[in-house]
Amino acid sequence: MLTHKGTQRLETSRLILRRFTIKDAQQMFWNWASEDEVTKYLTWPTHSDWNVTKMVLSDWSAKYDKLDFYNWAIEQKELKEVIGNISVVSYHDETLSANLGYCIGTKWWGQSIMSEAACAVLKYLFEEVGFNRIAAGYDSDNPKSGRVMQKIGMTYEGTLRKSGLNNQGIIDIVWYSILKKEWEQQ
């Protein structure tokens, strides 16, 4: 059984994972939401101005009262700036399973920041909330996203051909997952 606790503050050596606030709009816009290269493989369009970002953050902020809403701002401690986000995009109570989604600004690609954030989120979701399975999928044309999944110990499950839709159109989705017992053995 899941014990939903909502988006709680998490910390790693380099990062603070926390709730977004409206004050994050400008950093979110400039650091990743306005980057075509970041949104290329996502399901939401590049933000045209930071007012769009403000509207998104307003919507997310209103959901933080729900204990089953999990959406973290990734703040780099050294910069004191929000540089990306990671969230539970869907979950199923009956199977104790969740699907993750994440994105980060191009300036921070290749620095293992997303895998560090994802490890903190996995620990929280497994140990505090009670999930048994956490999965993530990526566009087959975006293998960098898959490398994050591999780094955090996820196992390749398969490729669902022409089963997804993102800013590139209809796409193949590559799925990875990790079970709680596998997490504990790492």
**Residue 139: per-residue pLDDT:** 98
In 3D, which of 104, 72, 71, 67 has the Cα closest to residue 89? 71
Res 32: pLDDT: 98
CATH class of 10-135: alpha beta
Q: What pLDDT score does 37 carry? A: 97
pTM of the model: 0.97
Q: How much is the pLDDT for 71?
A: 98
**Which pLDDT value is given to residue 121?**
98
Strand partners, 18: 73
Contact in structure between 92 and 1 (CB atoms under 8 Å): no
The pLDDT of residue 59 is: 98
> For the chain (length 186 residues), average pLDDT per consecutive 10?
97 98 97 98 96 98 98 97 98 98 98 98 98 98 97 98 97 98 96
Query: What is residue 21's predicted lDDT score, i.e. its pLDDT?
Result: 97
CA 137/CA 161 separation, integer angstroms: 12
The domain spans of the chain are 10-135
Q: What is the pLDDT of residue 140?
A: 98
* Residues whose CB falls within 8 Å of the CB of residue 152, separated by 6 or more in sequence, listed in order: 115, 118, 119, 122, 178
Residue with tokens 């400008």: 26
Position 137 scores a pLDDT of: 98
